[in-house]
Chain A
Amino acid sequence: MIRLEGLTVRVGEFDLRDISFEVPTGGYGLIIGPTGSGKTTLLETVAGHNPVRAGRIGLHGEDVTDLPPERRGIGFVYQRYYLFPQLSVRENIRYGLVRGPLGPDVQRQRVSELAELLGISELLDRGISGLSGGETQRVALARALAPRPSILLLDEPFAAVDPTTRHMLRRELRALHERERITTLQVTHDFDEALRLGDLVAVLADGRIAQQGRPDEVFRYPNSAFVARFIGTGTVLSGTVERLAAGDGTPFAARFTSGPLSFEVIAEREGPAHAVLRPEDLLLSRDLQPTSARNHFAAVVRHVERLGPLTFVHLDAGRLLTAAVTSASCDALGIAQGAGLIVTIKATAIHLV
């Protein structure tokens, strides 16, 4: 278990403030945030490389806040891997075992076992200079796993490899995690990765956790315009909420207005707010459809972005919106640049933050 309680850290001019996050034993947690939000600093702090100003770090119930990195039982893989350039692949993987309690035979066995698991057996006697991105990543992972750490920290481990390798490594890592049940904390700037890999996600913004929870929950219900924009939930509009009927119950029926656009929504408070419109909740049609949804408005297609079976339609309705439709219905509706469409969205599908 990784348990961060009110962690406050200052590295140079950068602050991490009041970070509380917990990854259960055997779980897979993700820290996601834009460049410069403090992700790597947070991970290095968990590993013990940065002095903690306030708060505590617990690993498997033990307070390790004041322990040096070498006594935390952590495996760490950096985005740029940092293999030791003067050592061979084998020596890199064995690095953490050499001074451990295992005899040379057991060490050798552990190295070959990991090499086999990660498919790098034939690289063992090579130097590290000629390795491809994917190979380097596997060696770095094997090196981190060799001393059987109880915690694995991964700093954007897939950022430096090509997309095909990335998908493969992601699957392998997930399988490896299932097999070894190592409590893992990974940093990424790619929410897609969080959806695919994580049990838990924390969105980091400017040194603070903006939101945390299950990845699909965070994705569906972002708690701020920042989170919604960053993880790409959908179009984020800023505007104001006005109560429609008298009374003071919550939630209440309301009108959300953003410039020329206005929707009926279900709101919990009045005043300035952001509305998050998920692409899949925007329904497109040629003519006005008789449905129970009461939010209809006209829009012009600005740009059509086909991504295989899914097509993103970028629309101008006084505000720029993005809708997702299947490519088949895109063809059926004859959606093309410049076409005029009717956009429909249910009041309940509009997420206010």
Chain B
Amino acid sequence: MTEQLSPGTVPRHGPHLPWQRLGLAALGAVLVLFVVGPLLRLLFLATPGSLAEGFRDPELQASIALTVAAASVATLLAAVFGLPLAYLLARRRFRGRRLIQALVELPVVIPHPVAGIALLLFLGRRSTVGGALASIGLEVVSHAPGIVAAMLFVSAPLLVSGAREAFAGVDPRLERVARTLGDTPWLAFRRITLPLAGRGILAGAILAWARSVSEFGAIVILTYNPKVASILIYDRFTTQGLPAAVPAALVLLLVALAVFGLVRWLQPAEPR
């Protein structure tokens, strides 16, 4: 008979004295205020007038549409190429698994302008890959595909790790049971693993999408024009000053908050 320890057996609160707890809370409060403060300051600028101005601005409209479209394409590509990889990383023990996992997560630590430079060298017209793509009519640098490439590079790790964790959370024995009930590997995946991992995969995809929408550093090097929203905000700020940048910044902030809310809602509640 094996006894399993449940995660609930660890006390949630350490044996802290009241003054210690107060000190911890004070330190934490500083950081929370530092995060919330600037965002609230920006949100307080949101008057019906400034928001309407933002939403009516045709250049901003086009730029947000471009951002959303490019981020969606990048997320789709990350899903098509990343989900099989995430499944393999979660399910199979093969030589080099840890190396591949590390490689996939590498973009997280690379400064984004560095990623932009690397992508420019790799996908530029004079490079082998970029030249080949150009010869089939796919211009990357300084065109919309460049935006997608930059977004894919920085956001794919989020989707892959999210999906990998979601797949790992589905006990392989559920699939094995499905197999003995007549399912082929693909059917067992589709009927059991995918539905059970679905929320986690979706949360990873939304995080990747949000990361794409917020990307600036890599895109600014690869494709300044057409301008995605973050570049438009930067452009307005440097050429016309702060007041001109605020409506665009507000609109982008609202989009980000909506996505954040969606992800929090999709994530399963923390175990108590």
Give residues of chain A (306-335) contacting chain B, Cβ–Cβ below 8 Å: none
Q: Which residues of A contact B173 (CB under 8 A)?
A: 78, 80, 82
Contacting pair A70 B196 (CB below 8 A): no
Do A84 and B192 touch (CB < 8 A)? yes
A146 to chain B, nearest CB (A): 8
Question: Contact mask B166-202 → A, CB, 8 Å, 1/0?
Answer: 0000010110111111111101000110011000000
Query: How far, in whole Å, are A156 and B123 apart by their CA atoms in the complex?
Result: 57
Answer whether A82 and B196 are a contact pair too, CB < 8 Å, given A70-B183, A70-B184: no
* Cβ A76 vs Cβ B180 within 8 A: yes
State the Cβ distance, B185 to closest chain A Cβ, in Å: 8
Residue from B2, B93, B185, B195 in contact with A86 in the complex, judged by beta carbons closer than 8 Å: B195
- Tell whether B25 is near chain A: CB-to-CB under 8 Å: no
Within the complex, the shortest CB–CB distance from A351 to chain B, in Å, comes to 28
In B54-103, which residues have CB < 8 Å from any A CB? 93
Q: A49–B179 contact, CB under 8 A? A: yes
A: number of interface residues (CB 8 Å) = 30
Interface pair A70/B180, CB less than 8 Å apart: yes
A82 to B177 Cα, complex, angstroms: 7
Contacts of B180 in A (CB 8 A): 47-48, 69-70, 72, 74-76, 144, 149, 153
B1 beta carbon closer than 8 Å to chain A: yes
Give the A-B pair count, Cβ closer than 8 A. Answer: 62
Contact with B along A130-167 (1 / 0, CB 8 A): 00000000000001101101000100000100000000
CA distance A95 to B178 in the complex (A): 8
Which residues from B are CB-within-8-Å of A12? 93
- In the complex, what residues of A have CB within 8 A of residue B195's CB? 86
If the complex has contacts A68-B184, A159-B1, are A78 and B177 also in contact, measured as CB distance less than 8 A? yes
- Quick one: CB contact mask for A44-86 with B, threshold 8 Å, 1 for yes? 1001110000000000000000001110101110101010111
Choose among B1, B176, B196 the residue that contacts A47 (Cβ–Cβ < 8 A).
B176
Pick from B181, B183, B184, B191: contact of A143, CB under 8 Å: B181
- Cα separation A194 to B144 with both chains bound (whole Å): 69
A70–B179 contact, CB under 8 A? yes
A251 within 8 Å of B (CB atoms): no
Scoring B2, B183, B185 by chain A CB atoms within 10 A of each residue's CB, the highest score goes to B183
Known contacts A78-B173, A84-B174, A99-B187; A69/B192 CB under 8 A = no
B112 to chain A, nearest CB (A): 39
Q: Which residues of A from 273 to 305 have beta carbons under 8 Å from B?
A: none
Q: A49, B196: Cβ atoms under 8 Å?
A: no
| Cβ contacts under 8 Å, B179 to chain A | 47-49, 68-70
A24 at the B interface (CB under 8 A):
no
Contacts A68-B179, A96-B182 known; A86 to B171 CB distance under 8 Å? no
Tell me if A271 is interfacial: C-beta within 8 Å of chain B: no
CB pair B174 A82 closer than 8 Å: yes
Q: A103: CB under 8 A from chain B?
A: no
Q: Is the CB–CB distance between B2 and A35 below 8 Å? A: yes
Does B176 contact A76, Cβ atoms closer than 8 Å?
yes
> Is A260 in contact with chain B by the CB < 8 A criterion?
no
Closest to A94 in B: B181
Do the beta carbons of B181 and A96 come within 8 Å of each other?
yes
List residues of A (80-120) whose CB comes within 8 Å of B's CBs: 80, 82, 84-86, 95-96, 99-100
A305 nearest CB across to chain B (Å): 19
Which residues of chain A have C-beta atoms less than 8 A from B171's C-beta?
82
Question: In the complex, are the beta carbons of A147 and B196 less than 8 A apart?
Answer: no
Query: Are A76's CB and B1's CB within 8 A?
Result: no
Can you spell out 20 A-B residue pairs with CB atoms less than 8 angstroms apart? A12-B93, A47-B179, A47-B180, A49-B176, A68-B179, A68-B184, A69-B180, A75-B180, A76-B176, A76-B177, A80-B173, A82-B171, A82-B177, A84-B174, A96-B181, A143-B181, A144-B181, A146-B181, A149-B180, A153-B180
Residues of chain B touching chain A, judged by Cβ–Cβ distance below 8 Å, are 1-2, 93, 171, 173-174, 176-185, 187, 191-192, 195-196
Q: 7 smallest A-B Cβ distances: which pairs?
A: A96-B181, A69-B179, A76-B180, A70-B182, A82-B177, A82-B173, A74-B180
